[in-house]
Amino acid sequence: MRRLWAVFKSHPYIGNVLGYTTLFASADLIQQSVLGKVSVSAPTEENGDESLKKTADMDWYQTGRVATVGFCFHANFNYHWLRALERALPGGGAKMVTAKVVLDQLIAAPLTISAFYIGLSLLENKEDLFDDWRQKFWTSYKAGVVYWSTMQAINFSLVPPVARTLFLGGIALTFTVFLCHMKRQGRQKQ
């Protein structure tokens, strides 16, 4: 484990960006399997010994699009954003952590949520790139303020700066499942 940490510390950009992207894409897989895309049915007389039967397959193209948005924007943006915040407001005291959380929610949160919806719409070749964003931004942002304020306070006060993007990717997993679910809800209604 020490060797892995040493490699991570010597190449923080690569470790943080690849780790974040992996976690970001994993969120879509979780959303598909747990919250809706893949479903199962109980055994019946027709399917006999089949205890579980899939009614849909994973949408790997969707997961690829989520990974692309995660890699091209979210992972890179968050890596540089967190470094800039730490340079501008160094330290982990209550005053600095509060300032970082407020700036994060006022600047980074709207940008990352917008990049998610608009980026996926672009990759899906939608005519109106802003349709999902207009419908889902405020709900996503309000939920994010509650979730991210707490998570970023933990990140800024307890996690070493070199590992903050990867930690952010871990906690983003839950929120990205929510965003993927929100994105999917519009598709199911169409």
Distance CA 37, CA 59 (A): 8
pLDDT score recorded for residue 117: 96
Q: What is the pTM of this model?
A: 0.79
* Two structure tokens written together for 50: 């089949």
User: Per-residue pLDDT tens for 116-136?
Assistant: 999 999 999 999 999 999 999
For tokens 């509650």, name the residue: 146
- Checking if the pLDDT of 177 tops 50, the result is yes
Ordered DSSP codes for 67-134 = HHHIIIIIIHHHHHHHHHHHHHS-S-SHHHHHHHHHHIIIIIHHHHHHHHHHHHHHHTT-S-TTHHHH
Percent of the chain surpassing pLDDT 70:
83
How far, CA to CA in Å, does 69 sit from each of 107, 135, 149, 173, 178? 18, 19, 23, 14, 16
pLDDT score recorded for residue 92: 86
- Checking if the pLDDT of 72 tops 80, the result is yes
- Checking if the pLDDT of 104 tops 90, the result is yes
Contact 25, 70 (CB under 8 A): yes
Query: For 3-7, 34-38, 44-48, 161-165, which range has the lowest pLDDT when averaged over its residues?
Result: 44-48
User: Per-residue pLDDT tens for 151-168?
Assistant: 999 999 999 888 888 888
* Two structure tokens written together for 41: 């049915």
* Two structure tokens written together for 125: 């070749």
